[in-house]
């Protein structure tokens, strides 16, 4: 197996694990500090790690137009998506509910992508998207024992869904290959530039520096911010945007699985069935047609 093929197989698996666990970890983090304070600290720590790396590696930064596109994607994902999700967590919405709403992203992407980025979804692809949505619905039904969600927080989560969908489409439409250190540095600088002032102006920035908060922040900085986001952007550039977005169908069930030991939220059998069905849908969407001779 070639190194490139191995990376194409391993990247989605690693991304899904890191991204799905991030919902439960973020829910833990916001119990120790206000949501925008958590994000401000997260982005600040990422910059502390990236700036020395950039000074040593001296990566090539994009031109003004490219930097603007990277910054827009950073704003839509780091500020709109994560910011609204974290506020929803603080309002009382469960990690599973946020993950379930976000899994609707592939449907939005599939509806918009044909006109925006020129991609076409095959009948088999639409079947896969439908199976993925049904699998997500089963995961929702399996989580029905969880207490009723906060309506305000759920509304914020839907706005966050629009943010990450717009960021995904913008990256595919205007994004080009940039050095990951340079791209991440721009995106997290944008996140910090918005979240730090917002936290100082609107929140009590007191932090409970418990061991639980420290490991949660370590995971959010290293796992979510650096590795998972780099994998997501790389996969968007390497494959069709609808196929990459279809990975999010697996997030609800995997998030429920991660929340089981972390938050004490059990994963019922119906959620396992939903994960299996969603996996089938992802396989149909992700399978590329055989090349013509």
pLDDT tens string 200-209: 999 999 999 9
Q: What are phi and psi of 104, to 5 degrees?
A: -75, -5
Cα torsion at 269, 274, 280, 281 (round to 10°)? 180
Band (246; pLDDT cuts 50, 70, 90): low
pLDDT tens string 120-144: 667 877 787 788 778 777 776 766 6
Question: What pLDDT does 194 receive?
Answer: 96
For the chain, the average pLDDT equals 81
Band (255; pLDDT cuts 50, 70, 90): confident
Question: What pLDDT does 263 receive?
Answer: 78
Check residues 101 and 28 and name the one with the higher pLDDT.
28
Query: In the predicted model, is pLDDT for residue 148 greater than 60?
Result: no
Query: In the predicted model, is pLDDT for residue 43 greater than 80?
Result: yes
Band (245; pLDDT cuts 50, 70, 90): low
**Dist CA 172 CA 169 (whole Å):** 5
Whole-structure pTM value: 0.81
To the nearest 5 percent, what fractions of the chain are helix, strand and coil?
Answer: 80, 0, 20
Give the containing element (helix H, strand E) for 217.
Answer: helix 211-218
Question: What pLDDT does 132 receive?
Answer: 75
| 282-292 average pLDDT score | 58
Check residues 248 and 102 and name the one with the higher pLDDT.
102
| 202-226 average pLDDT score | 93
- Do residues 179 and 127 lie in contact, with contact meaning Cβ atoms separated by under 8 Å? no
Band (92; pLDDT cuts 50, 70, 90): confident
Check residues 32 and 144 and name the one with the higher pLDDT.
32
| 12-34 average pLDDT score | 89
Q: Which of 112-116, 214-218, 280-284 bottoms out in mean pLDDT, i.e. has the lowest?
A: 112-116
- Which of the given ranges, 38-52, 88-102, 142-156, 253-267, has the highest pLDDT on average? 38-52
Domains in the chain: boundaries: 3-286
Query: In the predicted model, is pLDDT for residue 56 greater than 80?
Result: yes
Q: What is the CA radius of gyration of the chain?
A: 19
């Amino acid at each position: 197996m070639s190194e490139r093929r191995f990376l194409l197989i391993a990247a989605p698996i690693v991304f899904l694990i890191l991204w799905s666990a991030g919902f439960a970890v973020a829910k833990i983090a916001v119990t120790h500090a206000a949501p925008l304070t958590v994000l401000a600290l997260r982005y600040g720590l990422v910059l502390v790690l990236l700036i020395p790396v950039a000074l040593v590696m001296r990566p090539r930064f994009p031109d003004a137009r490219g930097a603007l596109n990277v910054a827009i994607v950073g704003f839509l994902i780091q500020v709109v998506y994560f910011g609204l999700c974290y506020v929803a967590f603080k309002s009382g919405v469960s990690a599973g509910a946020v993950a379930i709403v976000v899994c609707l992203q592939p449907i939005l992407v599939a509806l918009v992508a044909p006109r925006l980025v020129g991609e076409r979804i095959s009948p088999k692809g639409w079947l896969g998207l439908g199976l993925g949505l049904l699998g997500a619905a089963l995961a929702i039904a399996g989580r029905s024992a969880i207490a009723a969600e906060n309506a305000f927080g759920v509304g914020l989560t839907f706005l966050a869904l629009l943010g990450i969908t717009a960021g995904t489409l913008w990256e595919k439409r205007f994004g080009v290959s940039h050095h990951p250190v340079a791209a991440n540095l721009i995106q997290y600088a944008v996140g910090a530039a918005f979240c730090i002032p917002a936290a100082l102006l609107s929140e009590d920035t007191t932090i409970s520096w418990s061991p639980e908060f420290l490991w949660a922040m370590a995971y959010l900085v290293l796992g979510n911010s650096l590795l998972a986001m780099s994998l997501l952007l790389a996969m968007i550039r390497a494959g069709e945007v609808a196929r990459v977005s279809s990975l999010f169908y697996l997030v609800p069930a995997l998030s429920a699985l991660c929340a089981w030991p972390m938050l004490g939220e059990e994963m019922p059998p119906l959620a396992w069935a939903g994960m299996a069905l969603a996996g089938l849908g992802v396989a149909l969407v992700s399978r590329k047609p055989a090349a013509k001779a």
